[in-house]
Amino acid sequence: MMDPGKHVLYQNGAEQIDAEWNAAVAHSKLGDPVRLCTVSKPKQCPPGDDRGRIYKATNLRTKETWQISESWHSCGGA
């Protein structure tokens, strides 16, 4: 059975992870140029816990975009 989820790791160390399949991510290839922007960042997080950022990525080759969280849980979560 094929896993429908995705994990995207960028050269700058940022990452995105989600349990659902995404066509725009699936159409991307290793090495594609991508524009990555922070959409939101949780507030009032415990010290040292910066999970939960949401990034919007645009693949500059395919012109497709996706918006996914960087972790399974937001700060202070499991």
Residue 27 lies in a domain: yes
Look at the chain and report how many structural domains it folds into: 1
DSSP 46: P
Q: Containing domain of residue 53, as a range?
A: 6-69
In this predicted structure, what is the pLDDT of residue 27?
A: 94
DSSP 25: H
In the three-class reduction of DSSP (H, G, I as helix; E, B as strand; rest coil), residue 26 is classed as helix
**Whole-model pTM?**
0.79
**Cα 53 from Cα 16, distance rounded (Å):** 9
Place of tokens 């290839």: 29
Residue 75 lies in a domain: no
Amino acid at 18: D
Residue 46 lies in a domain: yes
Asked if residue 7 lies in contact with residue 16, where contact means CB atoms within 8 angstroms, the answer is yes
**How would residue 1 be classed by pLDDT, with cut points 50, 70 and 90?**
very low
The model's pLDDT over 29-63, given as tens digits with 9 standing for 90+, comes to 999 999 999 999 888 888 888 788 899 999 999 99
